[in-house]
Amino acid sequence: MAETVAARTSTDRDDKTVRVELGSRSYDIRIGRGVLETAGAEIAAVLPGARLAVIADETVAGLHLEAFSDSLRAAAIQHTAITVPAGESSKCFREFERLCDEVLAARLERGDAVVALGGGVTGDLTGFVASAVRRGMAFVQVPTTLLAQVDSSVGGKTGINCRHGKNLIGAFYQPALVLADTAVLDTLPLRDFRAGYAEVAKYGLLGDADFFDWLEANWKAVFADGEARDEAVARSCQAKADVVAADELESGRRALLNLGHTFGHALESAVSYETERLVHGEGVAIGMMLAHEFSERLGLIGDDTVARVRAHLGEVGLPVRIQDIPGQLPPAATFMDIIAQDKKVSRGALTFILTRGIGEAFVEKDVDPALVSDFLEEKLEA
């Protein structure tokens, strides 16, 4: 039975493929239930003869490493598995150094590849390692969370954290292949699925009103699994791929993907990244609400639009206001400091992603800090 599954190619199933167009660095994202089982064949087709170092956190290794290794063995791919502790704290210089050393200890050469099997933390950390070892090994992303499948595994942003903030050290480094098995999301805790869904909804809100309509009608099926989930992942990846193809290094349009993220990152930072209180996707959900409310404050949209966004995010179970975060929060002045130090600052001016309606987000590079401060003060007291 296992052999049958492993020998089956994904073309026998109803997999979806999204192409990220980046010239000589273009790559495919394969999306569908069971992609993990045929991962070996997919990788061998793109990187013939490559040996692999597979990096996974301990949790994901327990859940999915055996199936992934089976699939690699079925394709006769030599590989070494390296595990990292689960959690954001692994995105650090120490683990970066250790993993670089371990990949070299496995005697991988140019032409071999490094694989990230896991969520966003594993993908970000592993991608930076892949970019740096021998000045760049081939890299494969096998994202196992919804957040990683629709966001962090696509587009080539890799990195680690340092004492000055998150993701401040890293590289733009594109994978050669992304394999998104939507069946592995069955084992994802509901809270993490919801958090990933915030990024799915983001693609509708920032540039595709039809997709947002579709999500309002189909979100239950996306959570339940099956075709609608694959469709939501594929449309999200396509949306991100389009933006990345137009602006790989985030000099312009790519900033739209940060809708909700300036406020969201500030909230995550304000709770010291304690995931019991707030995970990234929840920060993005509240951040998107704040971006819409701030756009309303500036007269860009009406309260009906704000209400519609709040209704949908609330319906799926995401937090929609600052007060949904348990525990005390710092004053507005602290948030302003965090925002000022955020890397989406350009020569001192505040850049925000604002919106003129569902699917009509835009980059505003010259937002008056005093307006943001007043707005946040009010929201914190609400």
- Determine the Cα–Cα distance for residues 42 and 29; give it in Å rounded to an integer: 11
Binding mask 347-376 for a second copy (x = CB under 8 A): x-----------------------------
The answer to whether 22 contacts a second copy (rule: CB under 8 A) is no
**Least Å distance between CB 235 and a second copy?**
27
The answer to whether 2 contacts a second copy (rule: CB under 8 A) is no
- Determine the Cα–Cα distance for residues 336 and 214; give it in Å rounded to an integer: 36
Binding mask 147-186 for a second copy (x = CB under 8 A): ----------xxx--xxxx-xxxxxx--------------
The answer to whether 49 contacts a second copy (rule: CB under 8 A) is yes
Per annotation, catalytic residue among 64, 79, 235, 265: 265
One-letter amino acid of 331: P
CB 295 within 8 A of CB 355: yes
- Name the one residue in this structure whose structure tokens are 């007043």: 374
Distance between start and end Cα atoms, the chain:
58
Binding mask 285-324 for a second copy (x = CB under 8 A): ----------------------------------------
**Least Å distance between CB 99 and a second copy?**
11
In angstroms, the Cα distances linking 76 to 37, 48, 84, 139 are 14, 11, 25, 18
**Least Å distance between CB 301 and a second copy?**
29
- Determine the Cα–Cα distance for residues 106 and 266; give it in Å rounded to an integer: 39
Whether 379 is catalytic is: no
**Least Å distance between CB 137 and a second copy?**
11
Kindly state the DSSP code that residue 112 receives in the 8-state scheme: B
Kindly state the DSSP code that residue 150 receives in the 8-state scheme: I
Per annotation, catalytic residue among 254, 310, 312, 379: 254
**Cβ contacts of 134-137, under 8 Å, gap ≥ 24:** 134/108, 134/109, 134/110, 136/173, 137/103, 137/108, 137/110, 137/112, 137/113
The answer to whether 7 contacts a second copy (rule: CB under 8 A) is no
- Determine the Cα–Cα distance for residues 92 and 13; give it in Å rounded to an integer: 39
Whether 261 is catalytic is: yes
Per annotation, catalytic residue among 199, 248, 293, 364: 199
Beta carbons within 10 angstroms of residue 288's beta carbon: 29
Q: Which is nearer to a second copy, 169 or 298 (CB)?
A: 169
Catalytic residue numbers, as ranges: 135, 157, 199, 240, 250, 254, 258, 261, 265, 280
Residues that bind a second copy (CB under 8 A): 49, 93, 96-97, 100-101, 104-105, 107, 109-111, 128, 131-136, 157-159, 162-165, 167-172, 249, 341, 343, 345-347
